[in-house]
Amino acid sequence: MMRRFLWILALFAAVPAWGQEDGQAALRAQLARIAELRTSRPGDGLLAYYQALTHAALGDKGAALAQLRGLLGRHLGLIPAPGLGFEGLWEDADFQAVRRQLEAEEERTPDAPVAIRLTDPKLIPEGIAWDGKGRRFFLGSIAQRKILTVDPRGRTRNFSRTRDHLDAVLGLAVDAQRNRLYAVSTNGFEAAAATARRNAVVAYDLRSRRRIARFDIAEALQLNDVAVAPDGTVYVSDSAAGSVYRLPPGARDFVPHGKTGALPGANGLAVAPDGKLYVTLDTGIALMEGGTLQRLSQPDTVVTGCLDGLYWYEGDLLGIQNGCNPGRVVRIRLGEQGRQIVGLQVLQSHHHAAFDEPTTGALADGALYVIANSYVGRHQPDGSLKDPATLQPTALVAVPPAPATAAPASPPLGPPRRRR
């Protein structure tokens, strides 16, 4: 999760001192940075989209529309959506004509089934994890600052306790081997952070619900996702700072993993069975391996930026993309032993009726269970909710990890299995 209004300032961390420049100068500097990147990646459609976004913020309608028109016919899944930076042009007829063209070009996939629908519309959930042994999901609430469990029938129970003193809960990760749940607790995107910023990873015992550790990271700006490697190393992303931290097995504190600020827009994390760490960026996906960092090369026919949740699956990556379109689920094909992106398949297109800011998912029983309607954009800096009466209860959509020719008749997740 990355607050949308912050994106345009966080896209390219190589531009110095955002806070010390006026908005127009910062945007012009951003344009220069994008132009520099396009000299080495001239066919990168996402960079063209970001150029359009920046021109729009500068009030240059002609330049913005020229960049968007250049995307027509490429089928990259780049579709301006409400709240994603084109507010100044949203009522403009020419802009809307181009936006409709871009949307019409994207093929609709069969709608994956809504597997679970909860009853509370005001959770504002961002993170989800699956506990295979207990056959339950963990869901983190931003608005209610708690963790709850959800069984396959949609019944919920509070998991965290008030005395845990959680802030907004974002990323969640289950370490089944060590009987642990890790949760990101942060107020980094709220107004309260101006006076007392808090960022922590909280560890729980899966069976007892006991909070066994809290790892505060004082230098972090806004922690986001968390993932666990096979050896027990815990990784957490800091989206606002463009960094990743790690907690080695047995360590008492998180330490920087790589150079601070080297990962602009760092968000979703996925760990391969051999320990490779994949990190979503504003402009693609990075691989961190053996102390080295590289942005994965990819063909110009795919867009892998704007991803939120990221998951390893059978030699590929599954991702939930929500920053440069209304939201879709994709499978990113890897080659060269996981060191190159070779293709992308849309598993669930943005047309799904339940989608409203899909964020993250959890693999369970042959499907990726996606938080379809997180409403994270409705959560305001003061903790209130925008237009709360229009919110719908949280829906989990079961997306097959391989492209389907027809939607499953029923979700793959069954009721809890009886223990013998």
Place of tokens 């994390």: 269
390: enclosing H helix or E strand: none
pLDDT of residue 113: 98
pLDDT of residue 1: 59
pLDDT of residue 412: 63
Chain segment 201-232, per-residue pLDDT in tens: 999 999 999 999 999 999 999 999 999 999 99
pLDDT of residue 205: 98
Contacts of 32 (CB under 8 A, 6+ apart): none
pLDDT of residue 411: 59
Place of tokens 């509070």: 158
How far apart CA 214 and CA 224 sit, in angstroms, is 16
Q: Is 214 exposed, middle or buried (0-12, 13-18, 19+ CB in 10 A)?
A: middle
Task: Give, in order, the Cα–Cα distances in Å from 366 to each of 117, 127, 303, 401, 402.
Answer: 19, 19, 25, 7, 10
| CA 397 distance to own-chain centroid | 16
What's the token pair of residue 306?
Answer: 């704007």
Say if CB 390 and CB 403 are below 8 A apart.
Answer: no
What's the token pair of residue 411?
Answer: 């979700």
pLDDT of residue 15: 42
Task: Give, in order, the Cα–Cα distances in Å from 231 to each of 154, 200, 235.
Answer: 32, 21, 12
pLDDT of residue 84: 87
What letters, b where the CB count within 10 A reaches 16 and e where it falls short, cover 305-335? bbbbbbbbeeebbbbbbbbbbbbbbbbbbbe
pLDDT of residue 402: 87
- Looking only at the bridges linking them, the beta strands covering 114-117 and 125-131 are unpaired
How far apart CA 307 and CA 128 sit, in angstroms, is 16
Chain segment 48-89, per-residue pLDDT in tens: 999 999 999 999 999 999 999 999 999 999 999 998 889 999
352: enclosing H helix or E strand: none
Strand ordering across the sheet containing 234-238: 223-228, 234-238, 243-247, 255-256
pLDDT of residue 413: 65
Query: Could you say which residues of the chain have pLDDT below 50?
Result: 2-6, 8-9, 13-20, 406-409, 415-420
> Which is nearest to 299 in space by CA: 343, 334, 346, 336?
343
